[in-house]
Chains A and B, each alone.
Chain A
Amino acid sequence: MTRARDLLRGTPIGLLIVVGFFVIGLIGPWIAPYDPLSIDLLHEYEPPSRAHWLGTGDNGIDILSALLHGARLAAVVGLVVVGISVVLGTLIGTWAGYYGRLADHFVTGVADLVQAFPAIVLNIAVLALVAKPGLVHLIVALLVNGWVLYARLARAETLSLREREFVEAARALGVPAPQVMRRHVIPNLLGPLVIQATTGLGVVVLAESTLSFLGLGPGKAVSWGALLDQGTGVLLRFPHVALFSGGAIALTVLGFNLTGDWLRDWLDPHLR
């Protein structure tokens, strides 16, 4: 009872942003007033007006429509990358933590190596190997280091769970290892994983924007980062393009960060 009330009382602005982001990611392309790729050279780089609420950009595209479409890309990339990373990382980390020894050394070693590269540099290096990077390549590039944090988290938690009585009891009763992990270990990992995944979504949205900003995004798709790149190019004359597209990225990242912090406080009573 008190828990539910605490939850509501702190109803955080971050959660509202996150829900808004996913709703727009879902319905954005349908409610967009214009086609974000339609060219209208007579109305290039116009400031916000009644016809174009957020103004127009390169080739006269409607910025509001481009942002609504870009939200879909950001949401899809975020969900797919974080979803796969969480599953993969949990399996790898639990396996390493549960069996220890060689498995553990191997996984920690690979994780250390992957983390020895700054994330964005590794992503770019992977994309450099493809002739025309598309959505799938982008996702693969983000997955290369995406799984590591979740694997580390799952490993650390499994190491401590393994020593707990209820896990030991299950093992002593002869429950096979995969079942112990599935029934007793993984369910107990979910809390920390959810917190990590929430912040992780913001990280992936930012990474997608950054790669698109650098010109490495999926070619045809409308991306916030690509729009910000155009806006930076014309910053001195038409600042509205960069202001709105960058604002969308910043707001989304802020939303995920706040929601992650809030979930942490709520799920981890020690911190309250």
Chain B
Amino acid sequence: MVPVMSPGLLGYLAGRLARALLTVAGLVTIVFLLVRLIPGDPVEAILGDQAGPEEKAELRQALQLDRPIGAQYVSFLGDVVDGSLGTSFRRPDRSVWSMMHEVLPDTIILALAAWLVAWLVAIPLGTLAAARAGRGWDKLASTAAVAGLAIPNIWLGPLLILAFGVKLRWLPLPGDDLAGPEALILPAITIGTALAAVLTRQTRAAMIEILSQQYITAARARGVPSIPLLLRHALRNALLPVMTIGAAQLGALLSGTVVTEKIFERPGLGTLFLDAFFARDIPVVQGCVLLIAVIYVGVNLAVDLAYGIVDPRVRLS
């Protein structure tokens, strides 16, 4: 057993952390530049082409777009550092962060639920497929994975609503009272299906590799029954690489929530983002993009750190 905080580990953690911070600094800069340097005038985008010059000048001043770009950057950095991320155009009394903070839990719960769905499907299905490689169950699982990857969530959502909301009437329809956890089931399946397909394939591949190793053959020869053999001897070892992939995808699920919140008429970061988009509330758009990207980077960092602690070989690469 390696001591928990060996110098190698510390170095790895520090290096990885520094890289993540650098990425975040880069993200902040890109989000800033995105709004300023891409051709197209946000003032015109907000007011439309009918607005008079005074009106435009006024908004330009309010948005501080008339100041030199260096000064704008410094004040944007200030907004990032103090955590407010600026002020909404639509609601001058609200900071962007307070608006995001209000809806963030809805989105995080949805993403976690989708993640859970993916694991609950992928591990049993992938294990079963590997144990029965080349036979019926395996074919069924890989067909399901192909379908799961191809079905767009903009279609899956409506299909699930039709099947379980309209025909079977098991689950609430969009717009019904959203309080209960049962309202989370269909949106979670909508987002989680693609990830379930990816993880099923990964679990199957990892299990097949493990099952061909000698210690499995040895355990079989010792007469270990097949279920404990699969679960205790094989799955435990197969799971680590699959978990890395699965954990890294947690951030990616956030982008699925944009679409799914719209389909199921749920509040959340995606809904806030889209509303801000249509109102051309650039500070809020900017804030949402930055927050989503930072969560994404943060999740990847956490995965890398955890993996570095669990598996010492990672630190060397």
Contact = CB atoms under 8 A, between A and B. Distances in A.
Given A121-B292, A131-B45, A236-B166, A254 B147 contact: yes
Nearest to B295: A118
B297 A116 contact: yes
B164 interface: no
A116 B292 CA distance: 9
Contacts of B42: 129
Query: Which residue among A112, A124, A129, A239 has the maximum number of chain B CB atoms within 10 Å of its CB?
Result: A129
Tell me whether chain B's interface is mostly helix, strand or loop, or mixed: helix
Contacts of A250: 150-152, 155
Contacts of A216: 277
B27 A113 contact: yes
A12 to B, nearest CB: 11
Interface stretch (B85-93, B98-106, B278-286): B278-286
A109 B26 contact: yes
Contacts of B150: 202, 250, 253-254, 257
Interface residues of A, number: 44
A131 B41 CA distance: 8
B173 A206 contact: no
A210 B259 contact: yes
Tell me whether chain A's interface is mostly helix, strand or loop, or mixed: helix
Interface stretch (A3-11, A27-35, A224-232): A224-232
A121 B173 CA distance: 26
B158 interface: yes
Interface string B234-246: 0000000000000
A247 interface: yes
Given A112-B23, A118-B252, A246-B152, A125 B259 contact: no
A235 interface: yes
Contacts of A109: 26
Interface of B: 23, 26-27, 30-31, 34-35, 38, 40, 42, 44-45, 48-49, 146-147, 149-152, 154-155, 157-159, 161-162, 166, 173, 251-252, 254-255, 258-259, 262-263, 273-274, 277-278, 280, 282, 285-286, 288-289, 292-293, 296-297
* 4 A-B pairs with least C-beta separation: A246-B155, A118-B255, A254-B150, A131-B45
5 contacts: A116-B27, A120-B255, A121-B289, A236-B173, A250-B150
